[in-house]
Structure 1
Amino acid sequence: MSATFVSGSSVPGDSGDSSEVRTTKVGNVASLSQVQKTAIDTHGNVFKVPDYTIKDILSAIPKHCYERSLVRSLGYVARDIICMTIIGNVGYRLIPLVESQAIRFVLWNVYAYCLGLFAFGLWILAHECGHGAFSDYTWVNDTVGWILHSYLLVPYFSWKFSHGKHHKATGHLTRDMVFVPYTKEEYVEMKGKSVISEVAEETPIMSFLTLIFQQIGGLHFYLLTNATGQPHPEYSALGRSHFNPSSPIFEKKEYWYIVLSDIGMLCTFALVYWWSKTFSAWSAFINWFVPFMWVNHWLVFVTFLQHTDPTMPHYDDSEWTFAKGAAATIDRNFGFVGQHIFHDIIETHVLHHYVSRIPFYNAREASAAIQKVMGEHYRYEGENMWLSLWKVIRSCQFVEGDNGVRMYRNVNGIGIKPTDSKL
């Protein structure tokens, strides 16, 4: 026989204050009491801090899910490049034959959009290389990853090192490397106010403009200045750049790898310059630059929504563990494109944070296995991701909490109101 007692629980309006859930199992001889921390999310629902271990997660994953096939991985690279080649050869020859300028404009945009989808697929495969999920051979992983990421103007080793640290400290307020939210105190200080009630609501048009900037320039603003990463106030914006071998993001032993990443970028600039001179500026623009901009968008779109949600916690140092932090991510659904072109990076991202070396083609099976362990702690949102993007940008402005668990709040009147104590 068992009984569940709830004591000191928060109710909507408590702005994330802690509660304790005590579960007592009554037997013939003794009783067992376990305290589980909770918080209140933006919607006013009780969030329970995960109580399983990383060993529980790893034990649930079938061993064959870890197997990596170089031939299969290279096959996906070839598939994506072939698809881009077919689109390029067919579209670039046929679209100029269309007489209507308006229809040509639409077709060129569809053309570049389709190229951008498969280009982002290649980015994801390079991301697999950085995690060692591409093959059993490090030199193959780094060679393929360096070529693909450089072509898309992402510094491969720089990204690999900082992204690896992100995986080691996901959800940690002072150690995570990207999408680190403002605390309430930091948000108020940024607005130049003394209390949260003095901060004006953000208008929808301002949210929209913020979203446009984030989607167009967010990636390279992050790479150039480490925006949304740890602040490192003792360094200038460029001093903490992903392109700077001496950036505090990296260790000294990584110096020449960062230089090699920068060389990869320079090679791409040289290639695009040669391309525009040999063929035409238009050819380079529509076949490389516009798809490159779509890759920028998709990367920010996907990663932002994987790590930001009104139900998602962040942890102080006193409360964070790897198992809790890896669960501070969310799976979403992007339909056919997500599964077949974006290589399931959206649909199996929670698993990816627990075991990043599992190749994407084994991820669905492994994800289903760990969901049985995670139970209610597994988060999934199946609504349209464009709708989610708007909801998240409006509702997730900063985090607050006083028990080591911080939940998102906003000044836009959405969900639970933040506390209004003086800072």
Structure 2
Amino acid sequence: MDSTTQTNTGTGKVAVQPPTAFIKPIEKVSEPVYDTFGNEFTPPDYSIKDILDAIPQECYKRSYVKSYSYVARDCFFIAVFAYMAYAYLPLIPSASGRAVAWAMYSIVQGLFGTGLWVLAHECGHSAFSDSNTVNNVTGWVLHSSMLVPYYAWKLTHSMHHKSTGHLTRDMVFVPKDRKEFMENRGAHDWSELAEDAPLMTLYGLITQQVFGWPLYLLSNVTGQKYPKLNKWAVNHFNPNAPLFEKKDWFNIWISNVGIGITMSVIAYSINRWGLASVTLYYLIPYLWVNHWLVAITYLQHTDPTLPHYHADQWNFTRGAAATIDREFGFIGSFCFHDIIETHVLHHYVSRIPFYNARIATEKIKKVMGKHYRHDDTNFIKSLYTVARTCQFVEGKEGIQMFRNVNGVGVAPDGLPSKK
């Protein structure tokens, strides 16, 4: 879901109403704000109405046929590669050759599995079709098949969209502040901190990419902190978790039922065909899907040029602009359905289906001007670069920017610049 509303005007057109609850006057900061690289940052000065007025009505049109054709296409490729693995990989005489072939199989299946995940994500935003029933049934089936609690994640993801870039209300990849960063490093002052070794950055990335998604679902890691509760109680499977309201109780259990069905199928498959087969055909590709989900989300909201806001400086327009579009070539457009390339637009109006998002993106870029963020650096390289430069945030007067102890860009307050 997003924070805009749509009403029928009676003329066949859909009128998109701006989220008035998030429109408020904000006092201008008295001191300049600089991003990680030392460029002066100024918050967006346009309105959400300017954005919505720039988007053609045709971009809101959703097609059952087109949406399901993408589901069918992704399922077709997954089935074809699974059959090829079953029929031909055992024929490879060399053990090392079979290992390489299975590795390639898992990578390809992870790409198309991520594509199906993105289509389920479209369902959660009502961008898949005009029918809520179709959206929810399709999204529940697709997400459950990948062990994602559809309704639970849909609810927290909606809150993320309503509070993007808000330091105390956003729900995903909430950055560390200076105090938390230093506590995690076991330091009390800057003199105890040295530059992070590149291997430590790599280790942190691998840990994030392998365990980040399940830990987010199980303990809300990278989300808001609830210090009075055990972290394992703040999870997407607990209907009583503070992430949800009482009215959500039934839907959380429907999500859990979907997970239970998939786990039952996995257990049956292990009993029928063995753990090794299930690991090769499903579990390793599943880990690749998890990797891509974390990588995509992380890089959509973490960049040396992106701000985060305290309540006194945040509004919906600023929050949605605190995102960045990146390029991932053929994989991004064909396998991932443009979720990487059109994410800024997605945060302004998430009901626009992905196959119309590039057109809408071109329109809003004219309104956003210098506030539109885009990076065509190699996507994998960006993972490492961002991890080195965006370690924590700090700033004054409610606008926080990323800083690091690696000597990249502007030095944190109190830490001498490296020559």
TM normalised by structure 1 equals: 0.89
CA distance in 1, matches of 2:198, 2:84: 41
Letter in 2 for 1:393: A
Match of 1:377 in 2: 371
Match of 2:207 in 1: 213
2:251 is matched with which residue: 253, 257, 260? 257
Corresponding position: 1:110 with 2:111: no
Corresponding position: 1:330 with 2:347: no
SS at match of 2:240: coil
Match of 2:3 in 1: none
Match of 2:345 in 1: 351
Whether the 8 Å CA contact 2:213–2:290 is kept in 1: the answer is: yes
Corresponding position: 1:95 with 2:67: no
Deviations 1:249-283 (A, max 9, x none): 11110011111111111111100111222333333
Corresponding position: 1:45 with 2:17: no
Corresponding position: 1:270 with 2:264: yes
CA distance in 1, matches of 2:297, 2:89: 33
2:49 is matched with which residue: 28, 47, 55? 55
Whether the 8 Å CA contact 1:129–1:144 is kept in 2: the answer is: yes
CA distance in 2, matches of 1:35, 1:212: 38
Whether the 8 Å CA contact 2:320–2:348 is kept in 1: the answer is: yes
Corresponding position: 1:404 with 2:398: yes
CA distance in 1, matches of 2:222, 2:247: 25
SS at match of 1:408: strand
Runs of 4+ with deviation above 4 angstroms = 34-38
Letter in 2 for 1:351: L
Match of 1:77 in 2: 71
Match of 2:227 in 1: 233
Letter in 2 for 1:94: Y
Match of 1:181 in 2: 175
Letter in 2 for 1:230: Q
Whether the 8 Å CA contact 2:307–2:399 is kept in 1: the answer is: yes
Whether the 8 Å CA contact 2:326–2:376 is kept in 1: the answer is: yes
Note the residue ranges of structure 1 that are not aligned, 5 or more in a row.
Answer: 1-33
Deviations 1:25-54 (A, max 9, x none): xxxxxxxxx989751111111122111110
SS at match of 2:256: helix
Going from structure 1 to structure 2, the CA distance change for 1:37 and 1:148 (only over 3 Å counts) comes to farther
User: Greater shift after overlay, 184-193 or 235-244?
Assistant: 184-193
Whether the 8 Å CA contact 1:197–1:420 is kept in 2: the answer is: no
Letter in 2 for 1:174: T
Deviations 1:128-150 (A, max 9, x none): 00011011111111111111111
Letter in 1 for 2:364: I
CA distance in 2, matches of 1:364, 1:129: 19
CA distance in 1, matches of 2:118, 2:153: 12
Deviations 1:45-94 (A, max 9, x none): 11221111100000000001001111211111111001111111122211
Deviations 1:298-325 (A, max 9, x none): 0001110000001110011100010000
CA distance in 1, matches of 2:72, 2:189: 55
Match of 2:10 in 1: none
Letter in 1 for 2:347: H
Letter in 2 for 1:329: T
Work out which of the two has the higher radius of gyration on C-alpha atoms and give 1 or 2.
1
SS at match of 2:314: coil
Going from structure 1 to structure 2, the CA distance change for 1:118 and 1:197 (only over 3 Å counts) comes to same
Going from structure 1 to structure 2, the CA distance change for 1:38 and 1:364 (only over 3 Å counts) comes to farther
Structure 1 residue 188: Cα displacement: 2.5
SS at match of 1:238: helix
Whether the 8 Å CA contact 1:162–1:249 is kept in 2: the answer is: yes
CA distance in 2, matches of 1:69, 1:248: 36
CA distance in 1, matches of 2:346, 2:357: 8
User: Greater shift after overlay, 264-273 or 191-200?
Assistant: 191-200
CA distance in 2, matches of 1:358, 1:115: 27
Whether the 8 Å CA contact 1:174–1:230 is kept in 2: the answer is: yes
Whether the 8 Å CA contact 1:36–1:48 is kept in 2: the answer is: no
Whether the 8 Å CA contact 2:300–2:340 is kept in 1: the answer is: yes
Structure 1 residue 206: Cα displacement: 1.2
Note the residue ranges of structure 2 that are not aligned, 5 or more in a row.
Answer: 1-27
CA distance in 2, matches of 1:237, 1:98: 47
SS at match of 2:312: coil
Whether the 8 Å CA contact 1:211–1:393 is kept in 2: the answer is: yes
Whether the 8 Å CA contact 2:29–2:397 is kept in 1: the answer is: no
Letter in 1 for 2:52: L
